[in-house]
């Protein structure tokens, strides 16, 4: 009788073995990919984080401003020359969204800026390199630590006739207006005094010294940080709004009470 050869029984693989191998492979592949991506991102960040230069500002200017102001800042029929305006005026106009101008109007309105802070500084640096003018002030000038009382007095004498004594703004002629200063930054207050945008006169150092400007800025920042102590500000429009309020509500209430008393007695 022939001897039966025993067959070696092959063990069955678990159905989860293939899934486990695939999972391990995916984890290893994903880890390698994540490590490589992080290394590439860190090297890319160091190259992107460099600040824009005046040359970058030139390209931005030519693409967005030269149509009106000319390739060489000489101006045109639709925009004034920028000779001598300097970096301070450029930063003020572009950072407040007044430029680029959307439409022709008696006055360029303030709106959200179309450029980042880096791009604005690059454009300002380019204009300053081509047509030097007023530069950014020292930090001390706009730190808000000046004489508030003296600044308020200087503001009333030199600025309140247009901007209102409470810096709430006011109407001018031919559809123009002096903007409210309740949210204006210290830098833009200084820039407006030095460069005289639109209808505002230029306050040079012969008119208002640097210390005078610092005190005015300090008084305006004080107004921004402190609410009206008298309750409702009524738009800070002074006697006009206060008189109207008294006429409508005060005298109106007296008339209503008189009518009620008369009707009651009858």
Which tokens belong to 241?
A: 């709004």
Residue 154: count other Cβ atoms within 10 Å of its Cβ.
Answer: 19
- 90 and 176 in one domain? no
Q: What is the pLDDT along the chain (266 residues), one digit of tens a residue?
A: 445 555 555 555 566 666 666 767 767 776 676 666 655 544 544 334 448 899 999 999 999 999 999 999 998 888 899 999 999 999 999 999 999 988 788 888 899 999 999 999 999 999 999 989 999 999 999 999 999 999 999 999 999 999 988 888 888 888 899 999 999 999 999 999 999 998 899 999 999 999 999 999 999 999 999 876 666 666 665 666 667 777 777 788 888 888 888 887 76
- Using alpha carbons, select from 122, 125, 113 the residue that is nearest to residue 56: 122
- Domain assignment present for residue 165? The answer is yes
Domain count, the chain: 2
What's the confidence (pLDDT) of residue 204? 92
* DSSP state string for 67-135: HHH-TTS--BTTB---TTTHHHHHHHHHHTT--S-SS--SSPPP---SS-HHHHHHHHHHHHHHS----
- 229 and 146 in one domain? yes
- 231 and 168 in one domain? yes
- 204 and 231 in one domain? yes
- 231 and 177 in one domain? yes
What end-to-end distance do the CA atoms of the chain give, in Å?
A: 140
- Domain assignment present for residue 73? The answer is yes
- Using alpha carbons, select from 38, 82, 43, 42 the residue that is nearest to residue 61: 82
- Domain assignment present for residue 35? The answer is no
Return d(Cα 110, Cα 95) in angstroms, integer.
9
- 144 and 127 in one domain? no
Q: What's 89's DSSP letter?
A: H
- 164 and 121 in one domain? no
In a 3-state reduction of DSSP, which class is residue 143?
coil
- 222 and 164 in one domain? yes
What's the confidence (pLDDT) of residue 216? 97
**Phi-psi group of 107: left, alpha or beta (phi > 0 → left; psi -120 to 50 → alpha; rest → beta):** beta
- Domain assignment present for residue 166? The answer is yes
Q: What's 195's DSSP letter?
A: H
CATH code, 177: 1.10.760
- Domain assignment present for residue 17? The answer is no
- 114 and 101 in one domain? yes
What residues make up the domain containing 223?
Answer: 137-238
CATH code, 59: 1.10.760.10
What's the confidence (pLDDT) of residue 239? 60
Q: Across the chain, which distance is largest between two alpha carbons, in Å? A: 140
- 158 and 105 in one domain? no
pTM of the predicted model as reported, rounded to 2 decimal places: 0.69
Return d(Cα 19, Cα 247) in angstroms, integer.
84
What's the confidence (pLDDT) of residue 46? 35
Last residue of a domain, one of 135, 165, 185: 135
What's the confidence (pLDDT) of residue 38? 57
- Domain assignment present for residue 22? The answer is no
- 220 and 144 in one domain? yes
- 141 and 131 in one domain? no
What's the confidence (pLDDT) of residue 165? 86
- Domain assignment present for residue 252? The answer is no
Return d(Cα 261, Cα 258) in angstroms, integer.
5
């Amino acid at each position: 009788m022939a001897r039966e050869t025993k067959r070696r029984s092959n063990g069955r693989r678990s159905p989860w073995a293939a899934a486990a191998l695939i999972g391990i492979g995916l984890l290893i592949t994903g880890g390698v990919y994540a490590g490589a991506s992080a290394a590439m991102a860190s090297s890319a960040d160091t190259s992107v984080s460099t600040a824009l230069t005046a040359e970058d500002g030139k390209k931005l200017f030519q693409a967005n401003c030269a149509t009106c102001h000319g390739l060489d800042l000489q101006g045109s029929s639709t925009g004034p020359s920028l000779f001598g305006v300097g970096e301070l005026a450029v930063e003020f106009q572009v950072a407040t969204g007044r430029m680029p101008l959307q439409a022709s109007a008696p006055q360029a309105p303030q709106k959200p800026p179309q450029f980042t802070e880096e791009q604005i500084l690059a454009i300002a640096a380019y204009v300053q390199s081509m047509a030097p003018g007023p530069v950014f002030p020292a930090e001390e000038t706009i730190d808000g630590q000046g004489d508030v009382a003296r600044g308020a007095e200087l503001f009333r004498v030199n600025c309140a006739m247009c901007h209102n004594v409470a810096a709430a703004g006011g109407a001018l002629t031919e559809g123009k207006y002096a903007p409210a200063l309740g949210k204006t930054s210290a830098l833009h207050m200084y820039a407006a005094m030095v460069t005289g945008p639109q209808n505002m006169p230029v306050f040079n150092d012969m008119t208002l010294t640097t210390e005078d400007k610092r005190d005015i800025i300090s008084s305006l920042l004080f107004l921004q940080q402190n609410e009206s102590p008298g309750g409702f500000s009524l738009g800070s429009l002074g006697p006009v709004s206060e008189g109207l309020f008294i006429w409508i509500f005060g005298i109106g209430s007296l008339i209503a009470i008189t009518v009620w008393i008369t009707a009651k007695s009858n």
